[in-house]
Chain A
C-alpha cells in the first residue's frame, strides 16, 4: 500500500498553504507521504512540495486539468487510487477540496470525514476529530473502509521544514472530455492586497460598533499594519460595510488565526462560533458586559474610534 496522499490545491501554479500544512503534519509520522497534483505544466511544482515533506509527487499533467473541474478531477483520482492503492487521502476543507472529496467518496462508496481539526492515521486506519455545531462540539470519527478520506481545516497544522525525496511519478491521464460537466463562464477574483481570511495569521474584525464606513476604515488601517485579513460580524456585513465573503461566524467563515481582534463586536454566540478557537483574542468594546469579553485574552472597555488611532501609533513605535 502506498502511504498517505495529499491532494495539492493550486491555482496557476500557486500552491495554497494548507497543502504544505498537511504534508508537514503527515511527515511527522512514519508512513510515506505523497503529494498529488493535477494541472497543466505542473511538474515543476515537485521541488516545492518535496521541501515540505513529499516523498513522492504524483503528477497528472494535461490541458483537461488546466483549471479545477469536478468531473475530470474525480475521474482521474479514482483511476489513480485503483492503480496505486493509497491508504489514506487528505484534501483541504476548501471550496474545491470538499467538492472533490465528497464526489470522490460517493463514487468509491466510501466514508469521508470533513472539516477535520486533528487526524490519527496509521496502518490504513483513520480517526479524525471534526468540529461540529460550528465549533460548539467535537466529534471523533473513524472512517471505515479503504482508502481513508478526509478534508482538513486550513490553519490547524503548522508548516514544517522536514523535506521529502520528492520523486516524481507521472500518472497516466484517465479523465476524458466526457467527464467534464461544468463550464466556468467567469471568475472575478476578490481584489484584495490582504491575506485570505481563512488562512490569515491575524484577523481584525469590525462589527456594528464601527457605525459605518469610517469605523471600518480604522479596522482596515489596524489590519494593514498587522498584515491581517479583515473580517466582520453579520451586522456589519448586512449593513453593507463589508463584502459577505468576509463574514466570520456560524453562517460565515470559521477562522483560526494566531490573533483575532474584535472591534465593536458584541460576541453573539453565532459570531463566537467562527472565531473562539483563535489562539489569542483581543476585544475593543464600550460595553463592559459584552459577551466578547468572556472569550477574550485581552479586552479593553473603550471607544474604538479613540483606541484604534492610538493603538496604531503605539504599534508603529
Chain B
C-alpha cells in the first residue's frame, strides 16, 4: 500500500510572532515540521513496520525551504519526497488544488495529513484534498487500522471518541495524541541524503481568500500579584472571584 504524507513546514511553537511590513516576519525563526504532520509521518512509518504500508512518500507545497521538512521526514523513515513549488501566498484552496494534483499522479491508497497546521493553519487542506480526489476523509484521528480495503479510525470527536470506518483510498488527518514521533537516527539522516526528492510546479489557480490585514493581539498586561501566607492569598483570591469576576458558586 502506497501512503502519501502531507507535511507543512511551520514556525517552531516557541516562536514569538512579529510583523514586518504588515506581514508575519520569519526572520530568525526556527522552522519545524508541523507537529501534527510529524505524528502523521510516524503513523505512516508504523504502518510500514507492521507490513501494511509498502512505500511512504512525503509531499509539501511551498518554497524551497520546505526541503528541510522533507529531509527530516525522510530521515525518520519515509522513502521519497515531492516538493510542489508554490508561491507562499497560496491560500487553503490553492494549496489543496496543487497538492491534490500531485497526489493524484501518485495514485496512493492512503493520504495522511495533520488536522491543522500550527501556523496560519485552517483545518481545511486535507478535507479539500479529499473532496478533489473523491476520497472519504476522517478527521482528528488517534489510531488507524487498515484491513480488507477499509480504514477503521479512532477519532477525537466533539463530546467523545468515535470509531469511523471508511473505504480506502482515503484521506485521514492526525491528532497529536496518536503517537510519539521518533527522532531521526544518525543513520537515518545519512540515508535521507540519498533518498530521491522530485520537484514539480504547482497547478496555478487564484486564491479564494484575500488577506486584508495582519495584526498582533493587544498584549495582556499583568494584574495583581499577592505574595503572602496561603490563607491570605486564598481569601483575597476568593474576594476577587466573587466581587470582580462575579462567579456563581454552586
Contacts and interface: CB of A to CB of B under 8 A. Distances in A.
A189 B160 contact: yes
Q: 4 closest A-B pairs (Cβ-Cβ)?
A: A111-B208, A310-B234, A314-B238, A306-B230
Contacts of B42: none
Interface stretch (B70-78, B103-111, B196-204, B240-248): B240-248
A297 interface: yes
A170 interface: no
B230 A310 contact: yes
Nearest to B39: A251
A98 interface: yes
Interface residues of A, number: 89
Given A251-B118, A280-B244, A307-B237, A95 B140 contact: yes
Interface stretch (B48-56, B59-67, B80-88, B150-158): B150-158
Interface of A: 11, 70-71, 93-96, 98-99, 102-103, 105-107, 109-115, 127, 130, 132-145, 181-190, 196, 202, 224-227, 244-245, 250-251, 258-259, 269-270, 273, 276-277, 280-282, 284, 288, 293-303, 306-308, 310-311, 314-317
A202 B128 CA distance: 35
Contacts of B231: 306, 310
Nearest to A294: B222
B162 interface: yes
A309 to B, nearest CB: 8
A11 B162 CA distance: 14
A214 B239 CA distance: 25
Contact of B211 (A141, A298, A301): A141
B18 to A, nearest CB: 9
A140 B245 contact: no
Interface of B: 11, 13-17, 19, 24, 35-36, 91-93, 96, 118-124, 127-128, 130-132, 136-140, 142, 152, 155-167, 176-177, 207-217, 220, 222-231, 233-242, 244-245, 247-250
Nearest to A314: B238
B137 A105 contact: no
Nearest to B130: A103
A106 B250 contact: no
A310 to B, nearest CB: 4
B222 A296 contact: yes
5 contacts: A110-B93, A136-B216, A138-B215, A142-B212, A259-B241
Nearest to B155: A95
Contacts of B19: 137
Contacts of A298: 223-224, 226, 237, 240, 244
Given A141-B210, A181-B166, A107 B120 contact: no
- For A135, A144, A183, the residue with the greatest tally of chain B CB atoms inside 10 Å of its CB is A183
Contacts of A182: 136, 138, 164-166
B144 to A, nearest CB: 13
- For A71, A281, A307, the residue with the greatest tally of chain B CB atoms inside 10 Å of its CB is A307
Nearest to B176: A251
B132 A135 contact: no
A224 B248 CA distance: 11
A105 B128 contact: yes
Contacts of A142: 209-210, 212
B132 A106 contact: yes
A269 to B, nearest CB: 6
A307 B155 CA distance: 38
